[in-house]
Amino acid sequence: MRKLFIALPLLIATIQPALSQNPIIKHMYTADPAARVFNDTLFIYTSHDEDTATWFNMLDWHVFSTVDMKNYTDHGAIFSLADLSWASRAAWAPDCAYTNGQYYFYYPVETNAIGVATSHSPYGKFKDALNKPLITRQTPGVVCSGYLIDPTVFIDDDSSAYILFGMNDLNIVKLNKDMISFSDTVRQVKGADNFFEAVWMHKYKGKYYLSYSGKFSNEGKGKLLYAMSDNPYGPFEYKGVLLEEMNSGTNHHSIVNYKGEWYLFYHNSDLWFKNHPEETPVLNWNGKNPFHRSICVDRLFYNEDGTIRQVVPAK
Ligand code: FUB
C-alpha cells in the first residue's frame, strides 16, 4: 500500500499532459491573465506591459489562445485606450464573458472606472458598449478605499452573472441579462479576509471559491489567497494560500477548467529578470518594481475536502 502512495503521484505526473514552459508568452510582456474557455478553445485575455514601462502605464489589452496548453497563438490587441472616448490611461486587468451570443469585455481604466465592450467574436475587436463607464466611485453602493479596478465576471449555473471588483474593499453586483447594466445595489462581499486586489470567482462541486491577492508585505509583494462559501455574496471562510509572492510584486491570477483539468494562470517577472541580469528583484510600490510581467500557468489540484493545494510554480 505504501508503495502505491509513493508511486501514484509519479504515475499522475506521467499521464498528465505536459504544459508549455513558463512564462508561456515570451515575445512581449503580458500581465493579469483572465483565462476563459469558449467553444473548446482556451482564451487568455491580458493586459500588456510596454517594453519601456516605468509604471503600470499600460495602453491596450491582448488575447492569446490554445487548444493543447502547449502552443499559444497571439491574436494581437483586441481593445485599447485609443478606442475609448472617455478615458486615456491605465489599461489594467480585464475579464471576458460570453452569453446571449455575444462576448463582453470588462476593463478598468484611469484607476477609477470600469467599462464594458462587446464583440461577436472572442478574438475581438471589441467595441465600447456604453461610451461611458459601467461603474465609477459615484455608483450607488460602491465602497472602494483603493483603486477602482480589477473587474471579473462570474456566471453561475442558473446563468446569473455577477461582476466583482475593487482594491482594499471587494464589491459585487448582479448584472442584468443584457450584461451591460445592473438594477441591484452594489454591495461588499462578506469575509474576504485580507483582500487587496485581483479578485477571481469560480465554482467547484457546488461551492463558491473567492481568490485574490492579499495585502502586500513590507517588501511590497502579495500572496494569492482563497476562501470558500455557499453563496457568491459570502460570508466566505478563509482557507489559505494559493500561491506565494511573485517577483513581479503584483500577483494576479485566474482559475479555469479546461478539458477536465484545473489550471492556475498568474504572472511573474522571470522573463524580465532573465533579460536584465543587472536588475535585482527589490520590490516596493514606492521604490524599485520590475513593471514588466509575463503570464504563466500551472496545474491546480483540490484535496478530497474541496480545499485547494498550494500551487508551486514550475520553472
Ligand atoms: O496590471 C495593473 C494592476 O496590477 C492590476 O490591475 C492589478 O491587479 C495588478 O496586477
Write the pLDDT tens digit of every residue in 277-295. Answer: 888 776 666 567 889 999 9
CA distances from 234 to 84, 152, 164, 210, 305 (A): 34, 16, 12, 9, 19
Ligand 1 atom closest to residue 267's alpha carbon, by position in its atom list: 10
Res 213 pLDDT > 80: yes
Instruction: Give the separation between CA 191 and CA 183, rounded to whole angstroms.
Output: 24
- pLDDT value at residue 4: 47
Task: Please state, in angstroms and rounded to a whole number, the distance separating the CA atoms of residues 261 and 35.
Answer: 13
pLDDT in tens, 24-37: 999 999 999 999 99
Residue of 32, 49, 128, 245 marked active site: 32
Q: Does 152 contact ligand 1 (Cβ within 6 A)?
A: no
Q: Is 95 in the pocket of ligand 1 (CB under 6 A)?
A: no
- Known catalytic residue: 237? no
Which pLDDT score, from 0 to 100, does residue 67 have? 98
Say what the pTM is.
0.94
49 exposure class (CB count in 10 Å sphere: 0-12, 13-18, 19+) = buried
Q: What residues contact residue 304 under an 8 Å CB cut-off, 6+ apart?
A: none
For the CA of 198, the closest atom of ligand 1 is 8
- Range with lowest mean pLDDT among 6-20, 75-89, 94-108, 247-261: 6-20
Known catalytic membership, residue 304? no
Ligand 1 centroid to Cα of residue 208, in Å, is 23
For the Cβ of 172 lying below 6 angstroms from any atom of ligand 1, the answer is no
> Candidates 55, 252, 269: which one to mutate for ligand 1, based on the most atoms within 8 Å of Cβ?
252
CB of 311 closer than 6 angstroms to any ligand 1 atom: no
Q: How confident is the model at residue 218 (pLDDT cuts 50, 70, 90)?
A: low
Rounded to whole angstroms, how far apart are CA atoms 66 and 48? 18
Residue nearest to atom 9 of ligand 1 (CA): 250
Q: What is the pLDDT of residue 6?
A: 46
Q: Is the pLDDT of residue 244 over 50?
A: yes
Closest approach atom of ligand 1 to CA 90: 2
The answer on pLDDT for 114 being more than 90 is yes
